[in-house]
Structure 1
Amino acid sequence: MTAPDDLVRAVEATLFAAEEPMTVAALAGHLGDAAAGDVRAALRQLAEHYDGRGVQLVERGDRWHLQTAPDLAHILRREREAVRRLSRAATEVLAIVAYHEPVSRNEIEAIRGVQTSSGTLDVLMEAGWVRVAGRREVPGRPVIYATTPEFLDHFGLASRRDLPGIDELKAAGLLDPVDDAFDALMDDGGGDTPAEAGNDPADPLD
C-alpha cells in the first residue's frame, strides 16, 4: 500500500485502537460520518495491504478487526485460565442453534429428541455465543435463540455460510442421533413441536 490517503490511515488507526470489532457503519460514524462506500474501499485496501503479514485485517459477521496471523498465534499465546469444556449436550445445542437460528427451546428438543435443561442454554449465553433473539409469533410466544458475532469470531468464521456441512457434523458425532427428529421437524414446517423425551433425564452441564 503506497501513499495511503487520510481516510485509509484513519480507518487503520481506529481499528488498531478499538476494543472490539467494528462495523462499516460504526467506523463511518466514528470518523465524522464518512461515506460507507469510502470506508468499505479503505477496508479493502487495508485488507490487501495486510494480506500475508503478521497482522491481518479480517471480517467476522460484518464486523472488522485486526488480528494476529493464525500461523503465528502460538508465538503470542500466554498461559490463561482454561476455558470450560462444553458438555456434549451444550455442543449439540450450539450446533443446532447455529444451523437453524432463530430456534426455540422446543425446536431444539424436537431436533435432539431429548429434553434440554435451561442450564445448557445458560452456559452458551454466558460464553457469549448464544443470545435471545426475540419471541416466535405463535401461541405461547416462545423465546427464540441465535448465535452472536462473538461465536463467529471465536470459531474464525466470516459468516454462518462458513459453517461446516451437516454431514461433517454428523460424521463428527455432534448431531447424532438426531436425524429422524430433524426430518420430522422439517416435515412439520419447523413448528414448536414438544420433544418426546420419554424417560431421558435433563442434560447435565458437565
Structure 2
Amino acid sequence: MKPINPIQLKQLIEASLFVLAKPLSVKAIKETVLAEFSVSRTRIQETLDELQQDYQERGVQLVKIASGYRFQTQEILSPYLQPLWQDKSPKYSRATLETLAVIAYRQPVTRGDIEYIRGVAISSHIIKSLSDRQWIKVVGHKEVPGKPALYATTPAFLDYFNLTKLADLPALTDAASLQGLFDKVQVALDESNDDDSNDDHQDDDQQVNDEQNDSENSSDTTTNELDDVDKETVDVVKNSQNLTH
C-alpha cells in the first residue's frame, strides 16, 4: 500500500466529492479512490471533518447526510440562485405533499392508513409519483385481511432533504420548517415531471383528475384497523401556508 500525505489526502477526497453526483461514505472513499493507499477510516473521517471546517463560511458546504458526505450550496443563498433556473409552473397539489408527510411521520403505513389520516381517498398516481422519485417504497405487508402494502421513506428521501435520520425531521408543530420541507418537495416534483416532455400533458391531466377526486371523495377505511395513527400530521400540513399550487 502506498503512503499519502495529509495535503494529497485532503485534495483527493475533496476532488472525489466534487466530481461525483451522489454522496460518498467513509467506507466508499476508502474502497475506491483511496484503495491503493495506506490510510485508515479514522484518518479519512478526520480529513472530512477538516474539509467541513474549511467550507463552513463559503457559498458551498460539505454536509453529512444519511448515505455519506456531499457538497451543496448554502441554503440561505437559494433565493439568489433561483434565476439560474427557468421558472416552472407547479403541477402537483397539496394531496401529494400531505401523502408524503403522512408516510414520513407515521411510517410504516398502508394506503388505508393514509386515507384515514387525510380523510379522503388517495389516487394511485400520487403513490406512483413518490415511488418513481424513490422517496417511498414497500417495506412489508400489514397482517390484516388482504395484507395491504406498508409504505415507508427511503435513504434517497433522507439524502434529498439533508437528513441523516428520521429523527431529524422537523417537529409537526414547527410550521415554518414543514413549509420549507414541502417547498423543496414541490420543486423536486416539478423538475421530475419536466423530464418527459412528450408524456407530461397526459400525466398532468391524470394528476389533476386524480387529485380532484382525491379532495372530493371520502375514505371508506374503518377506524378499527388504525388504532396506532392519528390526524395530527395532516392537520399541521393543512394549516401551513402556501402549500397549494
The question of a shared fold, defined as TM-score above 0.5 by the shorter chain, is answered with yes
1:60·1:149 contact (CA, 8 Å) conserved in 2? Answer: no
Q: 1:7 is matched by which residue type in structure 2?
A: L
1:47·1:58 contact (CA, 8 Å) conserved in 2? Answer: yes
Give CA-to-partner distance per residue, 1:152-197, whole Å, 9 cap, x none. Answer: 444444443232212235xx899xxxxxxxxx6897245xxxxxxx
How far apart are 1:138 and its partner, in Å? 2.0
How far apart are 1:21 and its partner, in Å? 1.6
2:109·2:152 contact (CA, 8 Å) conserved in 1? Answer: yes
The separation in 2 between residues aligned to 1:24 and 1:4, in whole angstroms, is 16
Q: TM-score, normalised by structure 2?
A: 0.60
1:54·1:69 contact (CA, 8 Å) conserved in 2? Answer: yes
The separation in 2 between residues aligned to 1:37 and 1:186, in whole angstroms, is 48
1:53 corresponds to 2:58: yes
Q: Which of 150, 157, 162 is the equivalent residue of 1:151?
A: 157
Instruction: Spell out the pairing of 1:165-180 with structure 2 (5 A cutoff).
Output: 165-169=171-175
1:110·1:185 contact (CA, 8 Å) conserved in 2? Answer: no
1:94 corresponds to 2:100: yes
Aligned length: 178
Q: TM-score, normalised by structure 1?
A: 0.69
Structure 2 match to 1:177: none
Q: Which of 18, 30, 35 is the equivalent residue of 1:32?
A: 35
1:135·1:143 contact (CA, 8 Å) conserved in 2? Answer: yes
The separation in 2 between residues aligned to 1:168 and 1:22, in whole angstroms, is 31
How far apart are 1:150 and its partner, in Å? 4.0
Structure 2 match to 1:17: 19
How far apart are 1:7 and its partner, in Å? 2.7
How far apart are 1:15 and its partner, in Å? 0.3
The runs of 5 or more residues in structure 1 that have no matched partner are 175-183, 191-205
Distance 1:50 1:125, change over 3 A: same
Q: Which of 87, 105, 112 is the equivalent residue of 1:106?
A: 112
Matched residue SS, 2:69:
strand
Structure 2 match to 1:119: 125
2:136·2:154 contact (CA, 8 Å) conserved in 1? Answer: yes
Q: 2:25 is matched by which residue type in structure 1?
A: T
Q: 2:157 is matched by which residue type in structure 1?
A: F
2:59·2:74 contact (CA, 8 Å) conserved in 1? Answer: yes
How far apart are 1:72 and its partner, in Å? 3.3
**% identical aligned pairs:** 33
The separation in 1 between residues aligned to 2:69 and 2:86, in whole angstroms, is 25
Distance 1:64 1:186, change over 3 A: farther
Give CA-to-partner distance per residue, 1:96-118, whole Å, 9 cap, x none. Answer: 11112222212212222222111
Distance 1:91 1:129, change over 3 A: farther
How far apart are 1:66 and its partner, in Å? 0.8
Q: Where is the helix percentage greater, Structure 1 or Structure 2?
A: 2
Distance 1:76 1:107, change over 3 A: closer
The separation in 1 between residues aligned to 2:87 and 2:126, in whole angstroms, is 21
Structure 2 match to 1:132: 137
Structure 2 match to 1:188: 227
The separation in 2 between residues aligned to 1:108 and 1:187, in whole angstroms, is 10
Q: 1:24 is matched by which residue type in structure 2?
A: V
Structure 2 match to 1:70: 75
